[in-house]
Amino acid sequence: MYNILCTVPMQNFITACNILESIGNVKYLEYPKYEDVEKIISDFDGILPNARMRIDKNLLTKAEKLKIISMPAMGTDHIDVEECKDRNIKLYSMSDSKEFMSEISSTAEYTVGLILLMMKRYLVSSKSVLNTGEWKAVDYRGYDIKDKTVGLIGCGVVGSQVEKILLGFGTNVIKYDPYIESDDNTFVDLDVLLKESNIISCHVPLTNETKMMIDRDCFEKMNNIYFVNASRGEVIDDLALIDALENGNIKCAALDVLSGESSGDINSHLLVKYARKNDNLIITPHCAGSSNDGLEKIFKHAAETLIKNIGD
């Protein structure tokens, strides 16, 4: 029998819970504090962690029994991957299962929703009605997505899904991804994408190459665009984004991620402070991939991955 620690909000997903519980004792701790995990980590053979749970060298050193980490998400930037390798701890994430992830559309649908949210001005028009009782459609005219040029930075599983949905709206999609070799003429250089797009959406993992890749120079090449980031907060330069929002390089931005979000200090984040005072920045709490339909499949897959590999 194994001891499993689960720190994702999974208890309402009975099938996944039953799978984990079939091999041992499962402790459910939804989004625990680091110090609380630190006290008990030595008891567990496997972990199904959340994306905010920092699994660093200190924690892994104390995890004397740990055999496997099964991450129910794409990213592993919060985990010390090299330390896992050194300690022969198996690490799996959804990025290892691209065929499976191609069936999960949650993040792609959410991304397109954010684009429509900005262009159709849903939030500001609703706020006007609720706060003032005014009924002035003329003040909240938006734009159509049809015939606009959308630039996708990153064309993996999610980026490809976003493209498929957007083509159904009649958009023109151009893409930048240095890791994909293709003769498709919709793949362009980053500079071309930045200058020619009406809408830009980021779908890249956080690596040494992508950290702060959308910097001041990139924002200065944009021209009155709509900008979405549903990948990782650290891929953009926060201060440069604010300048771009203020000077008109970006008409409106929608972010589902923030730099340093795992620290929990969201209230004082400079982008949150800006958004409180300005209608051209929308922030949501990293929930693009958290649809009930998608999570049911993802938690089940992560649980199955854990029990399949824990004893190898």
Specify whether 203 is catalytic: no
At 70, phi and psi to the nearest 5? -115, 105
Distance, in Å, from the CA atom of 174 to the CA atom of 16, rounded to the nearest integer, reads 38
Specify whether 304 is catalytic: no
Catalytic residue among 121, 203, 269, 286: 286
Amino acid code (one letter) for 74: M
Neighbouring C-beta atoms of residue 9, cutoff 10 Å:
14
- Name the DSSP letter for residue 305: H
Catalytic residue among 232, 234, 269, 301: 232
Contact call for residues 275 and 282 (beta carbons, < 8 A): yes
Contact call for residues 202 and 228 (beta carbons, < 8 A): yes
To the nearest 5 percent, what fractions of the chain are helix, strand and coil?
45, 15, 40
Specify whether 220 is catalytic: no
Catalytic residue among 121, 163, 234, 261: 261
β-strands 199-202, 225-229 pairing: parallel
The residues that are catalytic are 232, 261, 286
